[in-house]
């Protein structure tokens, strides 16, 4: 086990342990590295969006939201999980300090983008949670990837873990409202509201796929339908295989 410095021993006893992120250069360095991973990912998505828009004559990405987990949330999660608080432990245990949310126009864009991104040879796929193929019981849908992203520092290359969430506009609309409602603890009829939210999620999902069908009819894009279908089939097979490989490695 790594030796504890004086700062790490006392930090657990502090009233506001998150202050260590302002005081200790090692924490500042770690957060800087996560910020770099976010920048690298953002650039990769901008490049993919530009290329996709040239090839298919439309932008698959509606918007990109990024967030660096706050020191307060990091400390809270490390405590909740019973993990020691140190820069090494944060890096080893947390996958969501760097977060990127990619909002796509249509469900098929999610898989196309995720495939194109994870095929890049400098990216390591650490984990996949496909809540679109397997929605959560409450109706939550998104594709989550945990990735190792290379960042290039003066001392050399290093991979940082980051969480990427892919959603359609409709899935994001539902998740944002559901997230807000979660914090309203004093709701009456919580059970029927949960059922209603689940029904909304299912309706939203149907609308997503109906809109996708409409788009295919009115705007097949520059790529011919046969080529498009062929590419989609090979992507879904590749995706299934990749998820199975990752699960086996875990």
Residues that are catalytic: 163
Q: Is 75 in the site for ligand 0O2 (CB under 6 A)?
A: no
Q: Which 3 state secondary structure label does DSSP give 151?
A: strand
Phi, then psi, of 163 in degrees rounded to 5: -105, 125
d(CA 235, CA 229): 10
Q: Is 125 in the site for ligand 0O2 (CB under 6 A)?
A: no
**Close Cβ partners of 21 (under 8 Å, ≥ 6 residues apart):** 27, 28, 31, 71, 74
In this structure, the number of other CB atoms found within 10 A of the CB of residue 166 comes to: 26
Q: Is 144 in the site for ligand 0O2 (CB under 6 A)?
A: yes
**Are the beta carbons of 96 and 163 closer than 8 angstroms?**
yes
Closest to ligand 0O2 by CB, 111 or 174: 174
Tell me which of 46, 179, 210, 222 binds ligand 0O2, using CB under 6 A.
Answer: 179
Of 95-124, which residues contact ligand 0O2 (CB under 6 A)? 96, 99
Q: Is 175 in the site for ligand 0O2 (CB under 6 A)?
A: yes
Q: Is 161 in the site for ligand 0O2 (CB under 6 A)?
A: no
Tell me which of 42, 178, 228, 235 binds ligand 0O2, using CB under 6 A.
Answer: 178
Of 19-27, 55-63, 82-90, 172-180, the segment contacting ligand 0O2 by CB under 6 A is 172-180
Token pair 């689940």: residue: 198
Q: Is 24 in the site for ligand 0O2 (CB under 6 A)?
A: no
**Are the beta carbons of 117 and 55 closer than 8 angstroms?**
no
Q: Which residues bind ligand 0O2 (CB under 6 A)?
A: 96, 99, 129, 136, 138, 140, 144, 175, 178-179
């Amino acid at each position: 086990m790594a030796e504890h410095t004086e700062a790490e021993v006392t930090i657990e006893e502090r009233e506001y342990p998150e202050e260590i992120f302002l005081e200790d250069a090692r924490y500042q360095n770690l957060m800087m590295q996560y910020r770099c991973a976010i920048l690298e990912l953002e650039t990769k998505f901008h490049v993919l969006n530009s290329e996709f828009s040239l090839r298919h004559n439309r932008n698959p990405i509606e918007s990109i939201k990024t967030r660096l987990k706050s020191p307060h949330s990091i400390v809270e999660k490390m405590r909740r999980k019973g993990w020691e608080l140190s820069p090494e432990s944060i890096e080893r245990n947390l996958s969501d300090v760097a977060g990127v949310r990619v909002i796509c126009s249509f469900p098929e864009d999610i898989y196309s983008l995720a495939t194109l991104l994870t095929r890049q040879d400098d990216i390591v796929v650490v984990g996949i949670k496909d809540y679109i193929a397997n929605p959560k019981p409450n109706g939550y849908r998104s594709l989550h990837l945990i990735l190792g992203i290379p960042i290039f520092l003066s001392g050399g290359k290093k991979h940082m873990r980051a969480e990427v969430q892919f959603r359609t506009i409709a899935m994001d609309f539902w998740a944002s409202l559901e997230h807000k409602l979660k914090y309203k603890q004093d709701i009456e009829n919580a059970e029927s509201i949960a059922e209603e939210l689940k029904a909304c999620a299912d309706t939203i999902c149907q609308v997503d796929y109906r809109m996708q069908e409409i788009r295919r009819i009115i705007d097949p894009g520059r790529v011919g339908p046969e080529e498009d279908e062929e590419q989609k089939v090979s992507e879904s097979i590749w995706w299934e295989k990749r998820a199975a490989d990752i699960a086996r490695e875990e």
